[in-house]
Amino acid sequence: MTYAGSVPSWATAANDAGAAPADETVEGEIYLPLRDQRGAEALAKAVSNPLDRGYRKALTPKQWINRFSPSQADSDAVVSFLKAAGLTISAVPDSRQYVVFRGTPDQLGSIFGTSLHSFSYAGRQLVAPASAPSLPTSIGAKVSGVSIEQSRTLTRPDSIKQGDLGPSGTPQLSRKAAAAPVIDTPCSHYVGEHTVTVPPAYNGNTQYSTYNCGYTPQQLRSAYGLTDLGKRGINGSGQTVAIIDAYASPTIVKDVNSYSQQNGEPGLTNSSYQQLVPSPSEFVDQALCQYPSGWQGEQTLDVESVHGIAPGARILYVGGFNCGGGLDVAMSKILDNKLANIVSNSYGNVGEAVPA
């Protein structure tokens, strides 16, 4: 069976830089179909529609898995097939909806009946199949989709933009930090508090407000009308907010508590913050994902934001072992075990490079 939609739109002859390096390790995912796709979609609509009798009558994760997830036999067959080809299995979620694996370009090319090349895209050299991957019918009948290309590694925390790459796609974060520019104008607590003169811009304007000083947690709660609720004890207590990013900051609690102290906020405690994270030895694709240091700032921002808006909520940080399949695995841990009421993330991609 052939998976034509698994060739990304940027894997073109014009972008082709030749065979992928033999020593490259490429991550892939195989997706398995639900046992009752229409039934799952109908249930999702019912629990979300206030006019439906099934409104808010959600299944537990175990009930959902037992009713809709791919069978254990199908999942085991796919895993065995990949292992027999010499691939390393990174993860299979409890829901059995996908398998994350790793291998060399030659291994992946052989098992999927294609060849993997390097392609120039988004200022990087990314590996992708040069032709549509395929699988023998015995396995393909159990598979709904295949991904063996590296555009997932373009996923970035929103505090790091795609332009933060140097020549040849070298991450700026891997370089020695440049000296900070001297800024002798004060920040503005509100638009127009302080201004600077700039060359004529749109509409001929030459006066613009200086950069914003930032908002305190108290100001943000006030802006969203939460101050009075907080005084009545409605501050997130009893709720768990899960945050997903790649990797993990080793100083997250110290950093957030320092920020909280500076702003007169309660700090994190053992009961208000927990995390499920891989050990640093399990981190992979660090250079491709712009390094753990690039994600640590985002994790800190996310935790500070949630704690600032809802200081009574419990925060669960779940870190991925990379910025690709690792993020899927982190999400599955939360969903398959109902670890949180709310899930938040703060990362994005350059666009949908692979067709559905």
Which CATH number fits the domain that encloses residue 115? 3.30.70
Give the pLDDT confidence score for residue 312 in this predicted structure: 97
Contact yes or no for 244/330 (Cβ under 8 A):
yes
Same domain, 8 and 130: yes
Domain enclosing residue 295, as ranges: 217-348
Give the pLDDT confidence score for residue 167 in this predicted structure: 39
Give the pLDDT confidence score for residue 11 in this predicted structure: 96
User: What are the mean pLDDT values of the chain's consecutive 10-residue runs (356 residues total)?
Assistant: 95 98 97 97 97 96 98 98 98 98 98 98 95 98 97 80 43 46 80 89 83 92 96 96 97 98 96 97 94 94 97 98 97 98 83 50
Same domain, 10 and 138: yes
How many domains, in total, are found in the chain?
2
Give the pLDDT confidence score for residue 180 in this predicted structure: 57
- pTM of the prediction? 0.87
Same domain, 229 and 136: no
Q: CB burial class (10 A; 0-12, 13-18, 19+) of residue 228?
A: exposed
Same domain, 253 and 125: no
Same domain, 11 and 139: yes
DSSP line for 114-181: S-EEEEEETTEEEEEESS--B--HHHHTT-SEEE-SSGGGG-EETTS-TT-B-GGG-BGGGSPPPPPP
Give the pLDDT confidence score for residue 89 in this predicted structure: 99
Give the pLDDT confidence score for residue 349 in this predicted structure: 66
Domain contains 194: no
Domain contains 95: yes
| Tokens 């935790």 belong to residue | 303
Same domain, 102 and 229: no
